[in-house]
Amino acid sequence: MSQNPYMLVFGQEPMQKISRYEQKEMVLNAFKAERGQPVFMITGVRGIGKTVFMTEIADQFRNEKDWIVTELNPEVDMRVQLASQLSSEDQLARIFRAAKINLSFFGFGLEVSDVTPVTDIEDALKKMLSALQKKNKKVLVNIDEVTNTTRMHEFAAAFQILLRLKLPIYLLMTGLYENIRGLQDENSLTFLYRTPRIELQPLNLSSIAYNYKVTFHIPETEAREMADMTNGYSFAFQALGWLRWQYPDQKEYVYVQYRQILNEYVYEKVWSELSRKDRTVAYAIAKSETGKIDEIRQLLNMTSNQFNPYRKRLIDKGILDGRERGYVKFVLPLFAEYVKEEMSE
């Protein structure tokens, strides 16, 4: 059997994927513009495709002559990490030596004779980026799954200063809504509050159906049925495709395993992060046959003012779709069934 083109591993770029062209072009154009937006935050529920989306953009810039793309680990000092990555590239190291930037104090191995070492990491980044700016080079920093930590505060505060100095540095971050919101609410990081959030929406169902039709050589109606089962949810698209590839003649088994994978890989974690009241509201939504908000409020015995904060929170978490006025529905496929099973237990 040839290699399965779908993937169940979070964060790794799969062979089969559906691109979000409009949102991707918005970021690419903003970064390339003379005075464009230098920072974007990518958010959405687990498995919606945040990391893959960021990777697509990063790969595009890796093919650009004057762009330098770096990936930072948010668990360590990202200022030191950025300086280390930049100085470890031979071409860039030559630029820093020519600019007489001695980084030996940090143990990077970039020493310049008869030049006093730089001892402050933020001062080092300023000098390095200034040297790169003179060579018309730009640095794109990618940080996956940011959280509201001291490490992130330190890097964001330093990044804010670099932006004020008009140095050529750009930033892409992914994170769950609550983590992104926590960062944006920090009083000392005002630039993050104004940073645009890209809230990833479900994939186009027609594109998913076409992908399944071509990959599995199946009729359009069957491909559409499969696409509808995913609700456009990126991880579901990969999971269903992976199972169909592994078990091409066992439709019933595929369906059972599909539910189990969604539950174990995603829904158990999503459910654990909901408050007791959030779960009660989700249960009422799951029980509603119409998705009409008036009906759901009656099930909960809630006024509109009482219900709206829970509705907004579930929408912000990427669990609920509230775009149709007066109605709500779950974004995640088969999540209503999961909710009912959990609450019945």
* CA dihedral for 125, 127, 130, 134, sign (positive or negative): negative
Is pLDDT of 1 > 60? no
**Same domain, residue pair 100 and 173:** yes
**What's the rounded Cα separation, in Å, for the pair 205 and 300?**
32
Q: How far is CA 231 from the centre of its chain?
A: 18
* CA dihedral for 325, 330, 331, 333, sign (positive or negative): negative
CATH code, 143: 3.40.50.300
Going by the DSSP 8-state scheme, the letter that residue 321 receives in this structure is E
Mean pLDDT of all residues in 92-121: 87
> Using one digit for the tens of pLDDT, what is the confidence trace for 149-197?
889 989 999 999 999 999 999 999 999 888 887 777 776 676 777 788 8
Q: Which of 252, 271, 290 is the last residue of a domain?
A: 271
pLDDT for res 2: 81
pLDDT for res 19: 83
**Same domain, residue pair 137 and 236:** no
**Same domain, residue pair 309 and 279:** yes
**What's the rounded Cα separation, in Å, for the pair 130 and 74?**
24
> Across the chain, where does the E strand assignment appear?
39-43, 67-72, 138-143, 169-175, 197-199, 320-321, 329-330
With beta carbons less than 8 A apart as the criterion, state whether 125 and 80 touch.
Answer: no
> Using one digit for the tens of pLDDT, what is the confidence trace for 51-96?
999 999 999 999 999 999 999 999 999 999 999 999 999 999 999 9
**What's the rounded Cα separation, in Å, for the pair 137 and 344?**
58
pLDDT for res 197: 86
With beta carbons less than 8 A apart as the criterion, state whether 330 and 321 touch.
Answer: yes
Is pLDDT of 134 > 70? yes
Q: In the numeric block, which tokens belong to residue 113?
A: 């004779």
**What's the rounded Cα separation, in Å, for the pair 345 and 341?**
6
Determine, yes or no, domain membership for 2: no
Structural domain of 131: 21-199
**What's the rounded Cα separation, in Å, for the pair 26 and 37?**
10
> Using one digit for the tens of pLDDT, what is the confidence trace for 301-340?
999 999 999 999 999 888 999 989 999 999 999 999 999 9
**What's the rounded Cα separation, in Å, for the pair 202 and 228?**
12
**Same domain, residue pair 60 and 130:** yes
- The total number of structural domains in the chain stands at 3
**Same domain, residue pair 152 and 32:** yes
Q: Write a three-state SS string for 119-137.
A: CCHHHHHHHHHHHHHHCCC
**Same domain, residue pair 293 and 325:** yes
**What's the rounded Cα separation, in Å, for the pair 311 and 307?**
6
CA-based R_g, the chain, Å: 24
With beta carbons less than 8 A apart as the criterion, state whether 294 and 326 touch.
Answer: yes
Is pLDDT of 269 > 60? yes
CB count, 10 Å around CB of 45?
24
> Using one digit for the tens of pLDDT, what is the confidence trace for 8-56?
887 677 788 888 888 999 999 999 998 889 999 999 888 899 999 999 9
